[in-house]
Amino acid sequence: MCGIIGYTGPLDGKKILLEGLSGLEYRGYDSAGIALCTIDSGIEVFKKVGKVSNLRDYCNQHTAAVSHCGIGHTRWATHGGVTDENAHPHRAGRVTLIHNGIIENYHQLTERYHLEEELVSQTDSEVAARVLDRLYQGDPLAALGELSGMLEGSYGFCVMFDDQPGNIYAMRSVSPLVAACTRSGSLVASDLTALIPYTREYFVVPEGKIVKLTPYKVNIYSLDENFSKYTPEMMSVNWNMDAAMKNGYPHFMLKEIHEQPEAMKNTILPRINKGLPDFSDDGIPDDLFADCSQIHVIACGTAMHTGMVAQAIMEPVLRIPVTVTIASEFRYQDPLVDDKTLVIVISQSGETIDTLAALRLAQEYGARTLSIVNVKGSTIARESDYVLYTHAGPEIAVASTKAYSVQLAALYMIACRMAYIRGKYSREEAVRFLTDLLDAVPAMETMLTQADFIKGIVTHIIQSPDAFFIGRGLDYAFSLEGALKLKEISYIHAEAYAAGELKHGTIALISEKVPVIATATQQHVFSKTISNIREVKARGAYVILLAKEGSIIDSSLADVIIRIPDLDDRFTVFPIAVALQLIAYYASIGKNLDVDQPRNLAKSVTVE
Ligand code: M6R
């Protein structure tokens, strides 16, 4: 969850670290810190609670020293509160260390090395730094190798040793790290956004190896007896720095909402062959879809919500069970999964620890696994049997928007291909389905033109501490995501309910002026949903209704109606997603909150 970066080279290290941390800040923003190696003063640490901008001001006031080598960290607190002491980097003797992950056996290590009196923070990371200092006898590879054998949990480390000026060492287990040797120097970071200003060529730091960065060289060593050198597989980035900038938008979230039509096209169009979905360029064979007797979809948060939609799309056509499970639950179950099960794991980052663990468990049970991932080369993408990359470009805002749409697009294409090869759709039906999916793209564009209208209607929502999202069938699945979006960036308590379920308890919470955001786009349950809306309206709710253009709505039913382009029922999710995202966005703006970096959250959840 934390962001880490290391740089050594000819340029101004402090500037590179601070800029890199700004780009990584979405991974955590409780505190930030850097350690700089200078000729005059050796290694100096600067760290501060709060955002990278705080750290920048602090550094500007406290150091003018020039450094060409350093490490930096932006923290999402796990062990120990949000304090300057608990901020990284941690100094221990000759070791300066930053860490992303959780050292699960830090308590045992503290006892074993009698560290209680020495520790100045409450973090597991400082324990790792102090143990490393004890192990260090002048050979960084030996000490790091020994440390890696002792640690339980997850880590991405960058380390500087006092007597190794200009060198940075890095290693990881589970937590992500990428590195590159560029003309501007050598870099290592938890995420590509910190590397792309300098290079498009990079490698994923392999687990069980140690990376040594010197100003003009990056070497990788295996943890064998001789620390033999290892050559990594090089990868290249297919997006540029512009994609990771706001480009005139006030927030990443708004930019990413607007990028959705383009991201949809990038994900869908290269996979159409003769009017049908075709995954042969992804290396995904048809027998993966033909042979399975059930599907399990596993993911977290927004990604899990796309699974809920997929279930409602797939099951009625494929007539096989489609089960959606939250990854953090699945990983501790004894799941009904076998070698006839297709497990689809969904993750924007490809690094979510629970999703990764669930993937590994599914593989142990013999399932065939397909991941839908946005970040190229991420751990989930590499470990699953097959990967279908979404081409959304980097998603920086913590609240997921364009990742949701493209994950859905990928799932819809899988549903279509499966239905076709299993004989559930004729060629004409499959072509029609795909055409309808493509029609969703201009519908999203139309929805975006309603941004000002939506901005004008959130006033009522932001005055209330609660909001309810209701719908039936697919509309319920969309509502789950609408509620998550609203709560995570506006801090309004929001819950989604299947509209018919309200009267079994929750309707007790509906009183005068409570906002109810109702979605009614599914024809076969339309009149039922309308009746449920009447029930809340009768109890004084303030109803915002999302309904298709042309559907006939009694004017007394809703306080506000947001009209959705008239698509086939199965595809209304796409414009509705835009509308619900805009509601959440403008609610957050209306409350003057930090839209892109909401409290307590981080973009990439790499701890349990
Ligand atoms: O990177 P992932 O797609 O695996 O992330 C899963 C969730 O943490 C994520 O979808 C989260 O719920 C969203 N950022 C919320 O907007």
Residue-wise pLDDT for 526-536, tens only, equals: 999 999 999 99
Mean pLDDT of the chain: 95
Instruction: Say what the pLDDT of residue 23 is.
Output: 87
Instruction: Say what the pLDDT of residue 65 is.
Output: 77
pLDDT at residue 549 is higher than 80: yes
Distance 407 CA to ligand 1 centre (A): 12
For residue 352, give the ligand 1 atom closest to its CA.
4
Question: Could you tell which of 253, 256, 352 is best to mutate to test the pocket of ligand 1, judged by most ligand atoms within 8 Å of the CB?
Answer: 352
CA distances in angstroms from 233 to 179, 204, 363, 377, listed in the order given: 11, 8, 24, 10
* Sequence-ordered strand ranges (E) for 364-445: 368-373, 386-389
Tokens of 254: 């708004």
Which tens digits make up the pLDDT trace of 379-389? 899 999 999 99
- Residue with structure tokens 């700004």? 22
Distance 174 CA to ligand 1 centre (A): 18
> Which member of 2, 37, 59, 292 is catalytic?
2
pLDDT at residue 242 is higher than 80: no
User: What mean pLDDT is predicted for residues 507-531?
Assistant: 95
Instruction: Say what the pLDDT of residue 73 is.
Output: 97
Instruction: Say what the pLDDT of residue 559 is.
Output: 96
Q: Whose CA is nearest to atom 8 of ligand 1?
A: 301
pLDDT at residue 286 is higher than 90: yes
What is the percent of the chain with per-residue pLDDT over 70, rounded to a whole number?
Answer: 100
Task: Give the residue, 237 or 341, on which the prediction is more confident.
Answer: 341
- Residue with structure tokens 């990881």? 172
pLDDT level of residue 471 (50, 70, 90 thresholds):
very high
User: What mean pLDDT is predicted for residues 437-442?
Assistant: 98
Task: Identify residue 444 by its one-letter amino acid code.
Answer: M
For residue 399, give the ligand 1 atom closest to its CA.
16
pLDDT level of residue 62 (50, 70, 90 thresholds):
confident
Distance 421 CA to ligand 1 centre (A): 31
Q: Is the CA virtual torsion 50, 51, 52, 57 positive or negative?
A: negative
Task: Identify residue 117 by its one-letter amino acid code.
Answer: E
Q: Cβ–Cβ contacts within 10 Å for residue 40, how many?
A: 8
Tokens of 60: 């500007």
Q: Is the CA virtual torsion 109, 115, 118, 120 positive or negative?
A: positive
- Which range has the worst mean pLDDT, 63-77, 144-158, 400-414? 63-77
Q: Whose CA is nearest to atom 12 of ligand 1?
A: 301
pTM of the predicted protein model = 0.88
- Taking the CA atoms of the chain, what radius of gyration do you get in angstroms? 25
Alpha-carbon distance of 284 to 388, in angstroms, equals 8
Tell me how far the alpha carbon of residue 335 is from its chain's centroid.
Answer: 25
Report the b/e string of 99-120 with b at 16+ CB within 10 A.
bbbbbeebeebbeebebeeebe
Instruction: Say what the pLDDT of residue 169 is.
Output: 98
Tokens of 210: 């140690």
Question: Could you tell which of 305, 349, 390 is best to mutate to test the pocket of ligand 1, judged by most ligand atoms within 8 Å of the CB?
Answer: 349
Going by C-alpha positions, the residue among 196, 209, 288 that lies closest to residue 243 is: 196
Question: Could you tell which of 308, 348, 607 is best to mutate to test the pocket of ligand 1, judged by most ligand atoms within 8 Å of the CB?
Answer: 348
pLDDT at residue 520 is higher than 80: yes
**Residue 314: phi, psi to the nearest 5?**
-80, -45
Tokens of 156: 């991405």
For residue 603, give the ligand 1 atom closest to its CA.
14
Distance 6 CA to ligand 1 centre (A): 26
Alpha-carbon distance of 382 to 369, in angstroms, equals 11
Distance 437 CA to ligand 1 centre (A): 23
Alpha-carbon distance of 530 to 526, in angstroms, equals 6
Q: Whose CA is nearest to atom 11 of ligand 1?
A: 301
**Residue 45: phi, psi to the nearest 5?**
-110, 135
Which tens digits make up the pLDDT trace of 586-597? 999 999 999 999
Is residue 398 within 8 A of residue 381, CB to CB? The reply is no
Angle at 149 between CA 143 and CA 154, to 5 degrees: 105
pLDDT at residue 576 is higher than 90: yes
Instruction: Say what the pLDDT of residue 55 is.
Output: 95
* Sequence-ordered strand ranges (E) for 291-419: 294-299, 322-326, 341-347, 368-373, 386-389
Task: Give the residue, 226 or 17, on which the prediction is more confident.
Answer: 17
Angle at 332 between CA 310 and CA 398, to 5 degrees: 55
For residue 348, give the ligand 1 atom closest to its CA.
3
For residue 380, give the ligand 1 atom closest to its CA.
4
> Which member of 48, 537, 548, 603 is catalytic?
603
603 tagged catalytic: yes
User: What mean pLDDT is predicted for residues 417-439?
Assistant: 98
Tokens of 596: 């892109």
For residue 303, give the ligand 1 atom closest to its CA.
10
Q: Whose CA is nearest to atom 16 of ligand 1?
A: 399
Q: Cβ–Cβ contacts within 10 Å for residue 240, how many?
A: 12
Distance 35 CA to ligand 1 centre (A): 31
- Ligand 1 residue neighbourhood (C-beta within 6 Å): 300-303, 347-349, 352, 355, 398-400, 488, 604-605
Alpha-carbon distance of 126 to 98, in angstroms, equals 9
User: What mean pLDDT is predicted for residues 464-492?
Assistant: 97
Q: Whose CA is nearest to atom 6 of ligand 1?
A: 300
Tokens of 123: 């973090």
Distance 294 CA to ligand 1 centre (A): 25
User: What mean pLDDT is predicted for residues 537-563?
Assistant: 95
Q: Is the CA virtual torsion 297, 601, 329, 384 positive or negative?
A: positive
- Is residue 491 left, alpha or beta, with left meaning phi > 0 and alpha meaning psi from -120 to 50? left
Instruction: Say what the pLDDT of residue 306 is.
Output: 98
Task: Identify residue 279 by its one-letter amino acid code.
Answer: F
Distance 165 CA to ligand 1 centre (A): 39
